[in-house]
Every structure is written in C-alpha cells, then in structure tokens.
Amino acid sequence: SAGATLPAGHPALLTIVESMLTALNTPAEAVQLAVSDCLESLARADSMKEEPRLEEAVLELRARVAAASVSYGERRGACLGLAALIRGLGIRTLARYGLVSLVREGAEGSASDREGALLLLEALSARLGPTVEPYVVPLMPVMLKVSLFFRFCIVFLCFFFPFYIGI
C-alpha cells in the first residue's frame, strides 16, 4: 500500500483511510479481502502507529459490526477490516477496544447482534490464526449456545415445514 510509505500526519492518509473504509461497504468479498489486506499493511507501518485516524477507523468499524441497521455485506466488510486492523496494530488492540466483550454481548443479543458476533469471530480466527485463541477460549460457551440456537431453529423448520405446506 502506498499509504504505508507516507509519514504520520500526512494529509493524504486521511483520504486513503476514508476511501478504504468506504470500499469495505462493497458487498463483494474479493473487494473486501483486498481492502482488508491493504488496511493491514497500512496499520503495520511504523509511521502509522501514532496515527489517530486508525484508532477512529477501529471505533467506526466496531460500531458498524454492532449496528442493527447495517446489511450483511457491510457488516462482513467491517469485520474483515477490523480483523485486518487488529493484526496490523497488534493483538492487544482486542482488549484495548473491548472487542472480546463486543463478541460476548453480541452473542447474547438480537439476531443481527449474533450475526455480527459470529462474523467478527470468523474474521478474527481467519486473519489472526492461533494468536487469537487465548481470547476466544473464554467465549466458547457463549458461541456453543448460539450455534445450538441456530441448530434448533433449523431442526424445527425441517421437521415442521413439510407439515405446514401439506407434504
């Protein structure tokens, strides 16, 4: 990413980060993955460690994951971008911005909250690999509860739907 070579505080950095955050709203996975790769390399740059816009980006993406009015594609893009920023800024970013509690609260919330929590957990696991395990292990009871809820709904629909439509 060209932005990684710019010095901290350069006016073009704001434009670059803004355009990347906007591109994450595109509901195409290939675009979202490419943008998240660029965000990660931008966040890894030494000159970007003190950049306040990256912190604002983390908070903005965190809010997008938790927002009920956001579509699936936007929420998935926010999760991929958030995981990329966490990998670029360091694993301590998880605790710094309360992302583990966001997953825990989301798993116990509404359907859109559960979707956001599971997408964020998937993105973190895919991007960070085994590094995220110490943070994920305490969430396992909550995640199992969520997956059992979805499994119950699927079994319920498979069993009762044929009777409902008269098969």
Q: In the structure encoding, which two tokens stand for residue 167, read together?
A: 């098969």
What pLDDT, on a 0 to 100 scale, did the predictor assign at position 92? 85
What pLDDT, on a 0 to 100 scale, did the predictor assign at position 159? 56
In this predicted structure, the answer to whether residue 1 has a pLDDT above a threshold of 60 is no
Q: Which of 115, 135, 114, 113 is nearest to 124 (CA)?
A: 135
Instruction: For 49, list phi and psi in degrees, rounded to 5.
Output: -60, -30
Nearest-10 crossing angle of helices 72-89, 111-128: 40
* Confidence (pTM): 0.80
User: Residue 2 — pLDDT band, cuts 50, 70, 90?
Assistant: low
Between CA 129 and CA 59 the distance in angstroms is 22
Query: Are 83 and 41 in contact, with CB atoms under 8 Å apart?
Result: no
CB atoms inside a 10 Å sphere around CB 126: 13
Between 1 and 101, residue with greater pLDDT: 101
In this predicted structure, the answer to whether residue 164 has a pLDDT above a threshold of 50 is no
What pLDDT, on a 0 to 100 scale, did the predictor assign at position 150? 58
Share above pLDDT 70 across residues of the chain, in percent, rounded to a whole number: 79
Between 41 and 8, residue with greater pLDDT: 41
Provide mean pLDDT across the span 85-98.
86
Between CA 75 and CA 27 the distance in angstroms is 9
Q: In the structure encoding, which two tokens stand for residue 120, read together?
A: 């964020």
User: Residue 47 — pLDDT band, cuts 50, 70, 90?
Assistant: low
Q: What is the 8-class DSSP label of residue 38?
A: H
